[in-house]
Amino acid sequence: MKNKGQVLVAFLLLLPLLFFLMAMVVDLGMEAIQYKKIKGTVFEVLSFALKEEAPLQEVENLFLKNGFSEKDFVVRKEEEKYYVKIIFSPKSFFGKMWRKDTKESLEYLAYKREEQIVIKRMEE
């Protein structure tokens, strides 16, 4: 029996790969949660702004109260439409390894159509 311990050696050789894959899944999951939180905040603030016909300063204050800094977002109001651009750095270790530019932006357009609120993500 000269083959003793082969499975153990193979397992030990594959163990770092298993840890790497688990870390990548957790890391990308955290990034997905960050996107979801940003999207949720944008939808809540814009829904409130359209329902209450809030002035631009109040909308900006809502973003500030929800954890954004002044350099993280741009809000414009033209006629009865709100334009929002969110600039952020994904909190992802592997994402920073694969992308050189770690700043990303999301743009949204919000307006009322027939008393119904419409919030769209604008494609770049």
| Nearest of 92, 91, 74 to residue 82 by alpha carbon | 74
Residue 114 CA, chain-centre distance (Å), reads 30
User: At 4, is the pLDDT very low, low, confident or very high (cuts 50, 70, 90)?
Assistant: confident
Please tell me the distance from the alpha carbon of residue 4 to that of residue 32, in angstroms, as a whole number.
44
Q: Is 113 a member of any domain? A: yes
* 0.75 surpassed by pTM: yes
- Residue 97, pLDDT above cutoff 80: no
Please tell me the distance from the alpha carbon of residue 119 to that of residue 121, in angstroms, as a whole number.
7
121 with 108: CB under 8 angstroms? yes
The average pLDDT across 97-115 equals 83
89 with 103: CB under 8 angstroms? yes
pLDDT at position 14:
94
Question: What range does the domain containing 46 cover?
Answer: 6-122
pLDDT at position 93:
77
User: At 99, is the pLDDT very low, low, confident or very high (cuts 50, 70, 90)?
Assistant: low
- Residue 124, pLDDT above cutoff 70: no
Per-residue pLDDT tens for 29-85? 988 898 999 999 999 999 999 999 889 999 999 999 998 888 889 999 998 899 999
Q: Tell me how many domains the chain contains.
A: 1
10: left (phi over 0), alpha (psi -120 to 50) or beta: alpha
Q: Is 47 a member of any domain? A: yes
Q: Is 71 a member of any domain? A: yes
Please tell me the distance from the alpha carbon of residue 23 to that of residue 68, in angstroms, as a whole number.
28
pLDDT at position 21:
92
108 with 87: CB under 8 angstroms? no
Q: Is 1 a member of any domain? A: no
| Nearest of 82, 80, 79, 86 to residue 64 by alpha carbon | 86
pLDDT at position 80:
87
